[in-house]
Structure 1
């Protein structure tokens, strides 16, 4: 079934319903950055969580705040989505409640196409999560040699 949100626009973004998202914003522009009462997700976070690039693009064109943080931060990582968020000014070194950055997650997910994008955008390789691990530590622990090589070049 997925996630159920308290904010209808968040649910519409999560469900990839662009028409509904547009209607909610026409009704009240304050819905753009509204945070769901459960996890603090915004419509942008909901769309990112599911990898809905079209909705992400629409929200970014409306100047959705890319740096609002929720209580749990993990979304699908696809190259186009990451590029859009970085171009819109997302803080590449933002950490979630476990101290992880996007680079930590990309290393855990062995995402070799995202890691160079994050590094090029200025990802700090020295940030440690609450387990005292840097992204390189994660790559080593999981024996992701290709990712280790990418990170060592920086």
Structure 2
């Protein structure tokens, strides 16, 4: 089984969907019982995954909707990965414009 580039084989479906910016899939997984603050072995949560995956890409309305959806569903903006960084730190590093 091949793993899409950038996804860890030990990453959850929710984190993978968030990293790929798939709002509909994220919504389905959360409605199906996935935990919004689950993390992979690197400490990455779905919210962190979105912010890390941007890598300087333009922030479109879909990304903003995904970020807002995660936050509206109690995603912890203060969760830290193994490096001690939060979603806000990655957002600033990648120059994400949150409106």
In the superposition, the TM-score normalised over structure 2's length comes to: 0.69
Aligned equivalent of 2:27, options 17, 22, 29: 22
Could you list the per-position Cα deviations for residues 73-108 of structure 1 after superposition, in whole angstroms to 9, with x for gaps in the alignment?
36322121xx6xxxxxxxxxxxxxxxxxxxxxxxxx
Secondary structure (helix, strand or coil) at the match of 2:36 reads helix
More helix by share: 1
**CA-CA distance at 1:50 after TM superposition:** 2.2
Contact 1:12–1:18 under 8 Å retained in 2: yes
Contact 1:47–1:53 under 8 Å retained in 2: no
Aligned equivalent of 2:70, options 49, 59, 75: 59
Structure with greater Cα Rg: 1
Determine the structure 2 residue equivalent to 1:44.
47
Secondary structure (helix, strand or coil) at the match of 1:24 reads helix
**CA-CA distance at 1:48 after TM superposition:** 1.2
**CA-CA distance at 1:28 after TM superposition:** 0.8
Determine the structure 2 residue equivalent to 1:70.
81
Aligned equivalent of 2:36, options 12, 29, 32: 32
C-alpha separation between the residues in 2 aligned to 1:16 and 1:64?
A: 15
C-alpha separation between the residues in 2 aligned to 1:28 and 1:14?
A: 19
Task: Give the gaps of 5 or more residues in structure 2.
Answer: 55-62
**CA-CA distance at 1:45 after TM superposition:** 0.5
Secondary structure (helix, strand or coil) at the match of 2:24 reads helix
C-alpha separation between the residues in 2 aligned to 1:27 and 1:78?
A: 29
